[in-house]
Amino acid sequence: EFANLKNLQVLDLSDNLNLEGQIPGLLGNLSKLQLLDLSANNFHGDIYGLFSGFSSNPNSKLESLDLSSNSLTGELPESLGLLKHLQHLDLSSNSFWGSIPSSIGSLSALRVLDLSYNTMNGTIPESLGQLSGLVDMNLMANSWKGILKETHFMNLRKLQHVRLTTEPTRSLAFSASHGWFPPFKLKSIQLENCMIGPSFPVWLQVQNKLTSVVLKNVSISDTIPGKWFSQLSAQLTYLVLSQDQIRGELPRHLNYPYLNLIDLSYNNFEGPFPSWSTNATDVILDENSFSGPIPENIGALMPRLQKLYVSRNHLSGRIPPSMCDIEGLNIISLRNNKLSGELPNCWHRLMLWGIDISNNSLTGNIPNSFGFLPSLSVLLLSNNNLDGEIPSSLRNCTGLTSMDLGGNKISGSLPLWVQYMSSLFMLRLSSNLLSGSIPDQGSEVFQRLIREVTRGRDPEYSNVVANVNSIELSGNNLTGEIPYEMTNLLALRILDLSHNHLSGAIPKSLTSVASLTRLNLSYNNLSGSIPFSPRFNDSSIYEGNPLLCGAPLPTKCPLPRPRK
């Protein structure tokens, strides 16, 4: 029927998921067709039939071809170059493979080329450089290989947007002379897993109209001239320079009012924390050598900040109270720095989801205001010098999933409310000064809350903290017995109660918890026979308990006395 539509100019069958099979070749015979959109369907197989139709139709007027988001396969045909009027070519999100055919250089009218999200595993032809009208080139999410030379870009005078990403092996390399000046002025560039280094190339330094820069794992181990940052467009929205070995200091003060994302992670940047005035929501500076304090006025510099990642640097000084003024802040990751002083007690106005300030030198108490963060899910403060008791206000954080306060000087007893955190799956309080017993169902409070939770069913420890998969309480002063109810934690993977003063017998069913993969009960005052378990047959699990007996320890248990 399509063959009779000789005057058809536009055919848009996009977003019809019930269309499947191979694309009919006769569509290529429609000589007046200007737009063909078959995107977002279930077409499969190759496109040789379609392009065979185009081959028999030398007067094709086709200007736009969109076959994206199907299940098309095979190599791209050389006959692609016959579509002389083609301006828009979108073959993204399919399973095409091989190389781009050299005939693509004949598409002199082409403005948009999108081959992203395929399995292209071949080379990019030098003839690409003949596309003098090309504005937008998207070749990301493929497996390109080979070398890109100056000839690949020779006549791309109108090129504004380049996206080119390949496999992490960096099998695609740029080869251009040191002083090469390209014919284009880009507005956006995204290169990932390509080799353009080790020096910061001149052809990139002269791009002064960029509003989006993404360079990840591109083998740069050079310093970046400070003037390059200052000459970037005031409209800059994305700045990503990550997973390389870029050295040197950043400019101290820059103003990027439209910047949304700064990602300079996994490099060798040094110097002070960048005091850039920006409306960025995400600032990612992990794995560098930034030093000195966090700016005291960070709340004014970055008022729209949502995610702050500056882990594994050399930051020092205190966490400024102005951070509490950033109302949209939801993640703080400052682990592995040299931060000191007390945590500000001003967090109750925020929607913080995650806090990780582990491995620093913080002192003082855990802020009571942490307990008034209704969205708090992750609280990691391990390996600092925090003291005092765990604030009771944390019981308000009912969505808490992970809490690690290990390696501090926290004292007091293990809080009863920990048992009632229904979302909690990781609890680590090891290497502190906690005392008292591990709460069990025997307490009056626990029995009352169990009745509220189970509403008449048999009370079970697992009904309250069923999701817990890690409990680490080692290195404290805990006493009493191991609660039998712990054997009902059906998701428990890690249980470390070592280096305490626990006494009594090991619950017989503890070693039978199917999910348990790591158990450490060493260096306590446990007594009696060790429950048999092929999985936990390592003597180091039980050592340091003089009154324990039975395998895998060498101490044999006394034989039971015969009944009279």
Q: Which pLDDT score is estimated for 264?
A: 97
Backbone φ, ψ for residue 513 (5° rounding): -65, 115
The span from the CA of 562 to the CA of 564, in Å, is: 6
Residue 7's alpha-carbon distances to 13, 33, 87, 93, 439, in angstroms, are 17, 7, 20, 30, 81
For residue 535, the 8-state DSSP code is: S
Encoded tokens for 450: 């169990």
Run means of pLDDT, 10 residues per run, the chain, 564 residues = 77 88 89 94 94 83 96 96 95 98 97 98 97 98 96 97 93 91 96 94 93 96 88 91 94 88 96 89 96 95 95 97 95 97 92 96 97 94 97 94 94 86 87 86 35 32 53 92 81 92 92 89 95 91 95 89 65
What residues pair up with 428 in beta bridges, in sequence order? Answer: 404, 472
User: Cβ of 237: how many Cβ atoms within 10 Å?
Assistant: 17
- 425 SS3 class: coil
Which residue's entry shows tokens 């005091």? 275
Report pTM.
Answer: 0.87
The span from the CA of 443 to the CA of 462, in Å, is: 16
Cis peptide before 552 (omega within 30 of 0): yes
What residues pair up with 520 in beta bridges, in sequence order? Answer: 496
Q: Which pLDDT score is estimated for 2?
A: 62
Q: What is the 3-state secondary structure (H, E, C) of 346-393?
A: CHHHCCCCEEECCCCEEEECCCHHHHHCCCCCEEECCCCEEEECCCHH
The span from the CA of 434 to the CA of 409, in Å, is: 8
26 close to 1: Cβ distance less than 8 angstroms: no
The span from the CA of 11 to the CA of 164, in Å, is: 30
- 238 SS3 class: strand
Picking from 247, 242, 303, 252, the residue whose alpha carbon sits closest to that of residue 273 is: 252
The span from the CA of 308 to the CA of 333, in Å, is: 6
